[in-house]
């Protein structure tokens, strides 16, 4: 029987949970046994959700969760549970929705107080160990929650929600809706913080292929240029950081996430092809380099890199006053300062984070600086292997390979898919994560849908994938029930609706809808009809709508046509007769 009067995270394989095993808080991992103990004792529950590369999760671990007085209260009066949001997206989804409905916003660390029978009471993000700058201490908040539960327990209702599909959008207004919040000065959408608009960029680029609103091209070009030249982009190693804290794309939050690299690879390669932007091709090459040099692990890719190095955010990436000049020869430094922004007082706590002024090639100089940077301590890597995120990376590698004529990238993607099948798929179930040799067998739609999408892409060039594509199509369809998409299957938590929101990555529903539509076409069938959803909510779903409405070229031929000869918005179908079917009409191949 588990001893709940100790911190039990030493038995966890999650890198995030193990970061908290030295806390004096008696943390437990989420399980049916722990929940049953809380119910039996009638003890309220304190759940803290985060992930291993989360900066403010680290801060709270070092402050409130390391404070003896705070820990004493939490241990005496609550049963405390730590959750890794990347291994339990279902629990995170439920608690985050409660936080958003209660507070109007949310974030990580996500801390929620619940009754012993799992009725949420209060949600918050960061809280200090002592009152500071108008913020109440975590201990004071916990005491108030206890008092509230004691006085109002019978009035606290269960929290129920349905992740309903977004409203149907007017097809003629989708492009205008995309452009409405566009930042005409700095690119991107909204003010700050600025997140890379992955799904929005992909939708705009595919819509441009279909002859959509001409204003989309300007929005794409400006956004792509500012993200590429600014601080979101790691100019020395390649790849992108998670987001920028400012409107100008100068100062990033220094996490590097696998899902961001996958999505950025896809849109940079697509932009290079659709817009004829050679700089985006170089960016795509840099992302692949970043993946192979830093994320590669056991045939797949690790989940993420920390924002901090030695408890200092961005320390690996920043340059002190005079440091760059000391590394480079005088002529090299003179050339470098003409192309890079090097403010005298720095742009991040007195240090310089590199951003570019122009696109002149400086490869030799950049390699010299990267060599010096590699000598520094490096951020911690989360070695968790996530099935769905790796499948998304495979999708991006396949698309980039075809758009930029890099056949080796498609071979790498095929290897990733085969490795995913070897590790996660037993022919009936698809696991979610692998950490330190421990397989998480719980099933999520996000994994099955992303893997199906990748396999449909491989199927275009190789008939050997037919059987697996059809098996995965059936498997994905089991997550759909009476028009409702189910996001997860768990024995220790309620069944959750699948999310529809397409940011920061495509939603499980959107991945499933596009994967099933492609599979139907590849079997010479017709995909289901679909309606547009509101921009900035359903942008990846709207790519599936473009596809389902015939605004992708369906190229039928008995042989594989070289991708360079086809439009960027194409799918290839093996057929005895040659034709190009687009927008309701089939024509002879123009090649």
**CATH classification of the domain holding 301:** 1.50.10.10
Residue 554, beta-bridge partner list: 571, 581
Residues 448 and 369 in one domain: no
Give the integer Cα–Cα distance in Å for 195 and 188: 8
Q: What pLDDT score was predicted for residue 507?
A: 97
In a domain, 118, yes or no: yes
In a domain, 1, yes or no: no
> What does the block give as tokens for 177?
């809706």
CA of 392: how far to CAs of 49, 397, 400, 454, 570, in Å? 24, 9, 12, 7, 19
Q: What pLDDT score was predicted for residue 590?
A: 73
CB atoms closer than 10 angstroms to residue 136: 16
> What does the block give as tokens for 478?
């089991």
| DSSP, res 38 | H
- What's the sign of the alpha-carbon dihedral 7, 61, 114, 107? negative
Residues 559 and 442 in one domain: no
Q: What pLDDT score was predicted for residue 467?
A: 97
Q: What pLDDT score was predicted for residue 214?
A: 80
Q: What pLDDT score was predicted for residue 16?
A: 94
The CATH number covering residue 149 comes to: 3.40.30.10
Contact between 518 and 456 under an 8 Å Cβ cutoff? The reply is yes
Among 338, 356, 376, the domain boundary falls at: 376
Residues 471 and 350 in one domain: no
Residues 241 and 390 in one domain: yes
Residues 544 and 397 in one domain: yes
Average pLDDT across each block of 10 residues of the chain; the chain has 591 residues. List them in order: 90 94 97 95 97 92 96 97 96 96 93 97 96 93 96 94 91 94 96 96 96 89 98 98 96 96 98 97 98 98 95 94 94 96 93 96 96 97 97 98 98 98 96 95 96 98 95 97 92 93 96 98 92 96 96 95 96 94 90 70
CA of 33: how far to CAs of 4, 77, 153, 160, 560, in Å? 10, 18, 23, 23, 54
> What does the block give as tokens for 543?
């790519």
Report residue 350: phi and psi, to 5°.
85, -10
Residues 209 and 271 in one domain: yes
Residues 329 and 300 in one domain: no
Residues 144 and 284 in one domain: no
Residue 122, beta-bridge partner list: 113
Residues 151 and 236 in one domain: no
Residues 292 and 353 in one domain: no
Among 376, 404, 420, the domain boundary falls at: 376
Q: What pLDDT score was predicted for residue 321?
A: 82
- What's the sign of the alpha-carbon dihedral 57, 61, 63, 67? positive
In a domain, 184, yes or no: yes
In a domain, 3, yes or no: no
Give the integer Cα–Cα distance in Å for 474 and 452: 10
In a domain, 246, yes or no: yes
pTM, whole model, 2 decimals? 0.96
- What does 415-483 look like in DSSP terms, one character per residue? HHHHHHHHHHB-SS-B--EEETTEEE--EEHHHHHHHHHHHHHHHTT-GGGHHHHHHHHHHHHTTEETT
In a domain, 162, yes or no: no
Residues 535 and 577 in one domain: no
For the chain, how are helix, strand and coil distributed in percent, rounded to 5? 45, 15, 40
Domain of 586 in residue numbering reads as 552-591
| DSSP, res 194 | B
Give the integer Cα–Cα distance in Å for 264 and 266: 5
Number of domains the chain contains: 4
| Residues sharing a CB contact under 8 Å with residue 382, sequence separation 6 or more, in sequence order | 15, 16, 51, 52, 53, 86, 302, 303, 304, 305, 306
Among 341, 359, 376, the domain boundary falls at: 376
In a domain, 160, yes or no: no
Residues 442 and 294 in one domain: yes
In a domain, 166, yes or no: no
Place of tokens 């922004």: 341
In 3D space, the residue among 431, 513, 440 whose CA is nearest the CA of residue 473 turns out to be 513
């Amino acid at each position: 029987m588990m001893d709940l009067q100790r911190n039990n995270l030493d038995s966890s394989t999650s890198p995030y949970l193990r970061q908290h095993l030295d806390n004096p808080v008696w943390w437990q991992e989420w399980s049916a046994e722990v929940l049953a103990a809380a119910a039996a004792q009638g003890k309220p529950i304190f759940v803290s959700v985060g992930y291993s590369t989360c900066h403010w999760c680290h801060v709270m671990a070092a402050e409130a969760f390391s404070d003896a007085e705070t820990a004493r209260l939490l241990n005496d009066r609550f049963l405390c549970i730590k959750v890794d949001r990347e291994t339990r997206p279902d629990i995170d989804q439920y608690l985050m929705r409660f936080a958003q409905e209660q507070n109007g916003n949310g974030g990580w660390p996500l801390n929620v107080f619940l009754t012993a029978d799992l009725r949420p009471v209060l949600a918050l993000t960061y809280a200090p160990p002592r009152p500071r700058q108008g913020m109440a201490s975590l201990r004071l908040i916990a005491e108030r929650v206890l008092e509230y539960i004691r006085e109002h327990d019978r009035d606290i209702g269960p929290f129920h929600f349905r992740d309903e599909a977004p409203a149907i959008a007017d097809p003629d207004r989708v492009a205008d809706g995309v452009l409405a919040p566009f930042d005409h000065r700095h690119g991107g959408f909204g003010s700050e913080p600025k997140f890379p608009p992955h799904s929005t960029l992909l939708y705009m680029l595919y819509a441009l292929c279909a002859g959509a609103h001409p204003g989309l091209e300007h929005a794409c070009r400006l956004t792509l240029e500012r993200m590429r030249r600014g601080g979101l982009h790691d100019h020395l190693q390649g790849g992108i950081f998670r987001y920028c804290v400012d409107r100008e794309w100068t100062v990033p939050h220094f996490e590097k996430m696998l899902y961001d690299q996958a999505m950025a690879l896809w849109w940079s390669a697509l932009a290079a092809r659709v817009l004829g932007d050679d700089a985006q091709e170089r960016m795509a090459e840099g992302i692949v380099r970043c993946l192979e040099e830093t994320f590669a692990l056991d045939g797949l890719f690790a989940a993420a890199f920390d924002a901090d190095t030695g408890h200092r955010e961005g320390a690996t990436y920043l340059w002190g006053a005079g440091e760059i000049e000391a590394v480079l020869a005088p002529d090299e430094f003179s050339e470098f300062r003409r192309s890079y922004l090097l403010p005298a007082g720095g742009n991040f706590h007195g240090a310089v984070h590199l951003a570019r002024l122009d696109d002149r090639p400086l490869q030799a100089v950049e390699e010299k600086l990267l060599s010096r940077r590699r000598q520094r301590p490096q951020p911690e890597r989360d070695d968790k292997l996530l099935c769905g995120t790796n499948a998304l990376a495979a999708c991006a590698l396949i698309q980039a390979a075809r758009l930029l004529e890099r056949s080796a990238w498609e071979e790498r993607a095929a290897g990733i898919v085969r490795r995913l099948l070897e590790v996660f798929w037993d022919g009936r179930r698809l696991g979610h994560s692998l950490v330190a040799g421990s397989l998480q067998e719980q099933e999520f739609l996000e994994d099955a849908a992303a893997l199906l999408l990748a396999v449909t892409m491989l199927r275009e060039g190789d008939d050997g994938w037919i059987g697996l594509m059809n098996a995965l199509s059936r498997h994905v369809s089991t997550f759909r029930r009476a028009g409702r998409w189910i996001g997860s299957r768990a024995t220790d938590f309620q069944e959750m609706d699948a999310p529809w929101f397409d940011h920061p990555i495509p939603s499980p529903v959107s991945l499933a809808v596009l994967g099933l539509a492609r599979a139907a076409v590849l079997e010479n069938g017709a995909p289901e009809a679909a309606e547009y959803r509101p921009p900035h909510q359903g942008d990846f779903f709207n790519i599936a709508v473009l596809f389902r409405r015939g605004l992708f070229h369906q190229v039928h031929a008995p042989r594989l046509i070289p991708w360079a000869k086809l439009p960027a918005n194409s799918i290839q179908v093996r057929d005895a007769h040659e034709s190009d079917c687009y927008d309701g009409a089939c024509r002879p191949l123009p090649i």
